[in-house]
Structure 1
Amino acid sequence: MSKPVYGKNAVQSRNAAKISGPVWALVVGFILFLFWTPFQVGLFNGQLVDFEKPIYVSALLGALMLLVWVGLDFKKFKLDEQRDLVAVFAVFLPITYALSLFVAVSHYMAMNMFFIQSMYAAVFIIALYLLKQKQVNVVIENAVLTIAYLIVGFGLLNWLGSGKLAGSLVGWFSNTVRNGKYLDAVMTDSNGLRLTSIFQYANTYAAFLMAFLFVAVFALVRSRKWYGTMTHGFMLVPIIVSLLLTLSRGGLVLLPVVFILLLLFLKPAQQILWIIHLGIAGLISLVITNQVTNLGIELNTAFSSSAALKGWGYLLGASVVVAGLGWVIQRFAAPWLQEKLGSWASRKWTGLWLPLGSVVLVGLIAFLLIGTSAKSILPGNIETRLENINFKQHSVLERFTFYKDAVKVVKDYPILGAGGGGWSALYEHYQNNPYTSRQVHNFFLQFLIEVGILGFIVFMGFILYIFYKYIRGYVRRDKDEFNNGFFFLIITLSILIHSLLDFNMSYAFMGILVFLGLAGMAAVMDSKPLRRNWNKAGLRLGYLAVITLGSLFLLFLSVTYISSSNAAVSAKRLMGVSQSYEEIKASLTKALKNRPTHPESVVYLSLMDQQVYNQTQDEQYLNESYSLVTRALKDEPYNKNLLNQLVAYYNLKGQKDLALAVYRDNADKFNWDIEWYSALISNSFALGQEAYNQKDSAKEQEYFKTGLAAYDHVVAGVEHLKTLPPEQLQGRPFSVTPVIALNAGKMQYMSGQIEAAAETLKLGLGQDYTDLNNREIARWYLAALKKNGGQDQAVYDQLIAAEPTEAAQIDEIVATQF
Structure 2
Amino acid sequence: MSKPVYGKNAVQLKHNDRSTGVVWLLAAAFILFLGWAPFQRGLFNSQQLIFEKPLFVSALLCCLMLFGWVGLNYKKFKLQEQSDLLVLAAFMLPIIYALTLFVAVSHFSAMNMLFIQTMYAAVFIISFYLLKQKQVNLAVQQAILSIAYIIVWFGLLNWLGSGKLAGSLVGWFTNEVVNGTYNGALITDSNGLRLTSIFQYANTYAAFLMAFLFVALFALVRSKMGYGWLIHGFMLVPIIVSMLLTLSRGGLVMMPVVFILLLLFLKSVQQILWIIHLGISGLASLIIASPVTNLGISLNTNFTSSSALKGWSYLLGASLLTAGLSWAVQRYLAPWLRGKLDGENSRKLNGMWIPLSSVALVGIIAFLLIGTGVRSILPDHIEVRLENINFKQHSVLERITFYKDAVKVIKDNPVLGIGGDGWQAVFGQYQNNPYVSHQVHNFFLQYLIEVGIVGFVVFMSFILFIFYKYIRGYAARKQDEFSNGFFYLIIALSILVHSLLDFNMSYAFMGILVFLGLAGMAVVMDSKPLRRNWNKAGVRYGYLAILTAGAVFMLVLSINYISSNNAGNKARQLFSVSQSYDELKAPLVKALKIRPGHPESTIYLSSLDQQVYSQTQNEQFLEESHTLLTTALKREPYDKELLKQLVSYYDLKNQSDLALKVYHDNATKYNWDIDWYSTLISRSLMQGEQALNLKDDAAKQEYFTIGLQAYDHVTAGVEHLKTLPPEQLQGNPFSVTPLIALNAGKIKFMMGEVQEASDILKQALSADYADVTNREIARWYLAALKKNGGQDQAVHDLLIAADAQEAARIDEILAKQY
**How many angstroms apart in 2 are the aligned matches of 1:762 and 1:345?**
79
Residues 565-584 of structure 1 correspond to what in structure 2 (within 5 A)? 565-584=565-584
Instruction: Read off the aligned partner of 2:501 and give its amino acid letter.
Output: L
Instruction: Read off the aligned partner of 1:210 and give its amino acid letter.
Output: M
> Any idea what SS the aligned residue of 1:350 has?
coil
**How many angstroms apart in 2 are the aligned matches of 1:106 and 1:541?**
36
In the alignment, which residue of structure 1 is the partner of 2:482?
Answer: 482
Residues 590-609 of structure 1 correspond to what in structure 2 (within 5 A)? 590-609=590-609
- Larger mean CA deviation between 609-618 and 599-608 belongs to 609-618
Contact kept, 8 Å, 2:110 with 2:421, in 1: the verdict is yes
State the shift of 1:570 in Å.
Answer: 2.2
**How many angstroms apart in 1 are the aligned matches of 2:813 and 2:12?**
97
In the alignment, which residue of structure 2 is the partner of 1:221?
Answer: 221
**How many angstroms apart in 1 are the aligned matches of 2:15 and 2:669?**
60
Structure 2 unpaired stretches of 5+: none
**How many angstroms apart in 2 are the aligned matches of 1:26 and 1:12?**
20
Instruction: Read off the aligned partner of 2:4 and give its amino acid letter.
Output: Y
- Larger mean CA deviation between 790-799 and 412-421 belongs to 790-799
> Any idea what SS the aligned residue of 1:187 has?
strand
**How many angstroms apart in 1 are the aligned matches of 2:431 and 2:83?**
42
State the shift of 1:7 in Å.
Answer: 4.3
**How many angstroms apart in 2 are the aligned matches of 1:226 and 1:439?**
45
**How many angstroms apart in 2 are the aligned matches of 1:8 and 1:427?**
50
Contact kept, 8 Å, 1:258 with 1:494, in 2: the verdict is yes
Matched, 1:179 2:152: no
**How many angstroms apart in 1 are the aligned matches of 2:337 and 2:794?**
84
State the shift of 1:815 in Å.
Answer: 4.8
- CA change 1:8–1:190 in 2 (3 A) is closer
- Larger mean CA deviation between 25-34 and 333-342 belongs to 333-342
Q: Give deviations 1:339-359, integer Å, cap 9, x for gaps.
A: 111122221223221111111
In the alignment, which residue of structure 2 is the partner of 1:5?
Answer: 3
State the shift of 1:11 in Å.
Answer: 6.4
Instruction: Read off the aligned partner of 1:359 and give its amino acid letter.
Output: V
Q: Give deviations 1:276-330, integer Å, cap 9, x for gaps.
A: 0000000001111111111111211122222222211111111111111111101
In the alignment, which residue of structure 2 is the partner of 1:109?
Answer: 109
Instruction: Read off the aligned partner of 2:370 and give its amino acid letter.
Output: I
RMSD: 1.5
In the alignment, which residue of structure 1 is the partner of 2:338?
Answer: 338
- CA change 1:13–1:299 in 2 (3 A) is closer
Instruction: Read off the aligned partner of 1:570 and give its amino acid letter.
Output: K
In the alignment, which residue of structure 1 is the partner of 2:86?
Answer: 86
Q: Give deviations 1:756-786, integer Å, cap 9, x for gaps.
A: 1111112321322233322221111112222
State the shift of 1:421 in Å.
Answer: 1.3
Matched, 1:303 2:296: no
In the alignment, which residue of structure 1 is the partner of 2:508?
Answer: 508
Q: Give deviations 1:7-41, integer Å, cap 9, x for gaps.
A: 45996685853111100000000000000000113
State the shift of 1:722 in Å.
Answer: 0.6
Contact kept, 8 Å, 2:11 with 2:482, in 1: the verdict is no
- CA change 1:286–1:88 in 2 (3 A) is same
Contact kept, 8 Å, 1:5 with 1:526, in 2: the verdict is no
Matched, 1:291 2:323: no
- CA change 1:18–1:778 in 2 (3 A) is same
Contact kept, 8 Å, 1:42 with 1:198, in 2: the verdict is no
**How many angstroms apart in 1 are the aligned matches of 2:416 and 2:12?**
46
In the alignment, which residue of structure 2 is the partner of 1:688?
Answer: 688
Identity of counterpart residues, as a percentage? 71
In the alignment, which residue of structure 2 is the partner of 1:799?
Answer: 799
State the shift of 1:96 in Å.
Answer: 0.4
In the alignment, which residue of structure 2 is the partner of 1:715?
Answer: 715
**How many angstroms apart in 1 are the aligned matches of 2:115 and 2:185?**
26
In the alignment, which residue of structure 2 is the partner of 1:439?
Answer: 439
> Any idea what SS the aligned residue of 1:92 has?
helix
Contact kept, 8 Å, 1:417 with 1:450, in 2: the verdict is yes
State the shift of 1:817 in Å.
Answer: 3.8
Contact kept, 8 Å, 1:37 with 1:58, in 2: the verdict is yes
In the alignment, which residue of structure 1 is the partner of 2:491?
Answer: 491
Runs ≥4 residues deviating over 6 A: none
Contact kept, 8 Å, 1:44 with 1:507, in 2: the verdict is yes
State the shift of 1:465 in Å.
Answer: 0.3
> Any idea what SS the aligned residue of 1:364 has?
helix
Contact kept, 8 Å, 1:62 with 1:123, in 2: the verdict is yes
In the alignment, which residue of structure 2 is the partner of 1:585?
Answer: 585
Q: Give deviations 1:385-426, integer Å, cap 9, x for gaps.
A: 111111111111111111110111111111111001110000
Instruction: Read off the aligned partner of 1:771 and give its amino acid letter.
Output: D
Instruction: Read off the aligned partner of 1:5 and give its amino acid letter.
Output: K
Contact kept, 8 Å, 1:5 with 1:527, in 2: the verdict is no
Residues 643-682 of structure 1 correspond to what in structure 2 (within 5 A)? 643-682=643-682
**How many angstroms apart in 1 are the aligned matches of 2:11 and 2:156?**
40
**How many angstroms apart in 1 are the aligned matches of 2:208 and 2:268?**
27
- CA change 1:28–1:303 in 2 (3 A) is same
Q: Give deviations 1:491-540, integer Å, cap 9, x for gaps.
A: 00000011111111111000000000000000000000000111111000
Contact kept, 8 Å, 1:394 with 1:727, in 2: the verdict is yes
Q: Give deviations 1:127-166, integer Å, cap 9, x for gaps.
A: 0011111111111111100110111111111111111111
- CA change 1:4–1:473 in 2 (3 A) is farther
**How many angstroms apart in 2 are the aligned matches of 1:228 and 1:353?**
29
Q: Give deviations 1:28-77, integer Å, cap 9, x for gaps.
A: 00000000000113821122222211111111011000110000000110
TM-score (norm 1): 0.98
In the alignment, which residue of structure 1 is the partner of 2:99?
Answer: 99
- Larger mean CA deviation between 21-30 and 610-619 belongs to 610-619
In the alignment, which residue of structure 2 is the partner of 1:402?
Answer: 402
Residues 513-592 of structure 1 correspond to what in structure 2 (within 5 A)? 513-592=513-592
**How many angstroms apart in 2 are the aligned matches of 1:29 and 1:276?**
38
Q: Give deviations 1:352-389, integer Å, cap 9, x for gaps.
A: 21111111111111122222222121111111111111
In the alignment, which residue of structure 2 is the partner of 1:59?
Answer: 59
In the alignment, which residue of structure 2 is the partner of 1:774?
Answer: 774
Residues 410-489 of structure 1 correspond to what in structure 2 (within 5 A)? 410-489=410-489
Instruction: Read off the aligned partner of 1:792 and give its amino acid letter.
Output: D
- Larger mean CA deviation between 573-582 and 494-503 belongs to 573-582
Contact kept, 8 Å, 2:597 with 2:632, in 1: the verdict is yes
Contact kept, 8 Å, 1:757 with 1:781, in 2: the verdict is yes
**How many angstroms apart in 1 are the aligned matches of 2:466 and 2:639?**
38
Say how many residue pairs are matched. Answer: 816
Contact kept, 8 Å, 1:766 with 1:774, in 2: the verdict is yes
Instruction: Read off the aligned partner of 1:317 and give its amino acid letter.
Output: G
Contact kept, 8 Å, 2:691 with 2:699, in 1: the verdict is yes
**How many angstroms apart in 2 are the aligned matches of 1:748 and 1:13?**
79
- CA change 1:8–1:796 in 2 (3 A) is closer
**How many angstroms apart in 2 are the aligned matches of 1:475 and 1:7?**
17
Q: Give deviations 1:552-609, integer Å, cap 9, x for gaps.
A: 0010000011111122222222223433333322222222120121101111111122
Q: Give deviations 1:713-747, integer Å, cap 9, x for gaps.
A: 11111111111111111111111111111111111
Contact kept, 8 Å, 2:11 with 2:484, in 1: the verdict is no
Contact kept, 8 Å, 2:79 with 2:535, in 1: the verdict is yes
Residues 173-252 of structure 1 correspond to what in structure 2 (within 5 A)? 173-252=173-252
Instruction: Read off the aligned partner of 1:810 and give its amino acid letter.
Output: I
**How many angstroms apart in 2 are the aligned matches of 1:608 and 1:359?**
63
State the shift of 1:680 in Å.
Answer: 0.8
Q: Give deviations 1:612-632, integer Å, cap 9, x for gaps.
A: 222222222211111111110
- CA change 1:568–1:754 in 2 (3 A) is same
- CA change 1:708–1:42 in 2 (3 A) is closer
**How many angstroms apart in 2 are the aligned matches of 1:817 and 1:577?**
53
Contact kept, 8 Å, 1:4 with 1:477, in 2: the verdict is no
**How many angstroms apart in 2 are the aligned matches of 1:569 and 1:345?**
62
In the alignment, which residue of structure 2 is the partner of 1:134?
Answer: 134
**How many angstroms apart in 2 are the aligned matches of 1:58 and 1:13?**
29
**How many angstroms apart in 1 are the aligned matches of 2:125 and 2:224?**
31
**How many angstroms apart in 1 are the aligned matches of 2:616 and 2:812?**
42
> Any idea what SS the aligned residue of 2:433 has?
coil
